[in-house]
Structure 1
């Protein structure tokens, strides 16, 4: 594969977006288990958040028929879930070109990671060439929303943090300069929010997403896998 891409797809009808909204303090990762029937099963990995909140969100999810816990390590839990709808059924009424989903599946790409957000999916993966990436991104630009964070050819490396948005970078800078990350802290979340002129909850989410992005680019690939 020739291009490594990281991007956001904005579509609140995508699987598990409702679950992510119910778990604002957790990181929700998602993958298809293609060798287990049609539609394929979901594998859902959740880091942080209480088990009670996670499992309540899974139970209430309209796109999950049933689920089971299959692994646990520290604050990370992994679930296997049976989808209640096919991908086409779930998205058909929410995108302008549902027929295009089949052609999208034929794009020469390997998606390595899907993080579910409250607005859609953040994905990273490999594309065979520029044409394959253009076909994929154009579909989502026309049928939801698409934001490219990083596009690297032939695996060329980039400095950590290149996937941060300008707002995330600004929030990190101000929090750092004011001593928010020092031990003990020299400032509060409320004071950082006041300088950014946003709410404390907004700056908390912005910092969390920025930190998640940096972790993904630096140490996430060294994490041990969950026990079988």
Structure 2
């Protein structure tokens, strides 16, 4: 089943951390990250010069060119007052963090649909052919310490209407635990017995249940989609 995954990743893992340190209101949207060539990136902030200087001093990116603003004016045009919706377009070459991230995604038959960021955090939307590829990709992201949080995961056909904050694995685990009486008082099955039934370790089950509970509580207390984890 085709799957869309939305990830949140800190800027110190992918890029722009130094830029956010210098320009706290900095925001960006990458025009495309497939093909290996330096992408075009829309940026915003207090003014174009502040953003440009911050980017030029950021070791995670190289500024190839400063192209235009959102109204189509080139960078040689006379400066005008900055409006709340002003954006500036740069062609940027990203460093090793983004390159490794792209490699991990593509090697697991994934594609990067969108990438944008604010408040010192990247938000990327990925497309995979199946859940197995999602899990394999997430395991590698954990292995390379990307600190990625899954904000939403859903089938491509139900992306707009997905309501559960649980991954498939978490949902199946909660259902099996309920079926066997794990949540009953007294419990109908121990954690060790439930782990054996699911074929996973005691520790893995404990962590999976904890993450599932956290996702359910967060979803109940918030109108927004709760962060999710992809279980091993």
TM range (shorter): 0.5 to 0.7
1:17 is aligned to 17
Residue correspondence of structure 1 range 171-186 to structure 2 within 5 A: none
Residue correspondence of structure 1 range 110-129 to structure 2 within 5 A: 110-117=111-118, 119-129=120-130
Shift of 1:103: 5.0
The answer on whether the counterparts of 1:43 and 1:79 sit within 8 Å (CA) in structure 2 is yes
Q: Distance in 1 between matches of 2:88 and 2:118?
A: 17
Would the alpha carbon gap of residues 155 and 136 (structure 1) be closer, same or farther in structure 2, given more than 3 Å must change?
Answer: same
Q: Distance in 2 between matches of 1:154 and 1:66?
A: 35
Residue correspondence of structure 1 range 1-228 to structure 2 within 5 A: 2-10=2-10, 12-32=12-32, 34=34, 40-62=37-59, 63-73=61-71, 75-83=85-93, 87=95, 90-91=96-97, 102=103, 104-117=105-118, 119-144=120-145, 145-156=147-158, 157-158=160-161
Which structure 1 residue ranges, 5 or more long, are not aligned?
A: 93-97, 174-209, 214-228
Would the alpha carbon gap of residues 116 and 22 (structure 1) be closer, same or farther in structure 2, given more than 3 Å must change?
Answer: farther
Structure with bigger gyration radius: 2
The answer on whether the counterparts of 1:116 and 1:122 sit within 8 Å (CA) in structure 2 is yes
2:195 is aligned to none
The answer on whether the counterparts of 2:112 and 2:125 sit within 8 Å (CA) in structure 1 is yes
Instruction: Provide runs of 4+ in structure 1 moved above 6 Å.
Output: none
SS state of the match for residue 153, structure 2? strand
The answer on whether the counterparts of 2:44 and 2:51 sit within 8 Å (CA) in structure 1 is no
* RMSD, aligned α-carbons: 3.7
SS state of the match for residue 131, structure 1? helix
SS state of the match for residue 12, structure 1? helix
Residues 146-193 of structure 1 show CA distances to partners (whole Å, capped at 9, x for unaligned) of 211111113312379x8xx988x97x99xxxxxxxxxxxxxxxxxxxx
Q: Distance in 1 between matches of 2:127 and 2:102?
A: 19
The answer on whether the counterparts of 1:14 and 1:120 sit within 8 Å (CA) in structure 2 is no
Would the alpha carbon gap of residues 42 and 19 (structure 1) be closer, same or farther in structure 2, given more than 3 Å must change?
Answer: farther
Q: Distance in 1 between matches of 2:161 and 2:87?
A: 31
Residues 78-130 of structure 1 show CA distances to partners (whole Å, capped at 9, x for unaligned) of 423242x6x4xx249xxxxx6x9745432222222112356552111321110
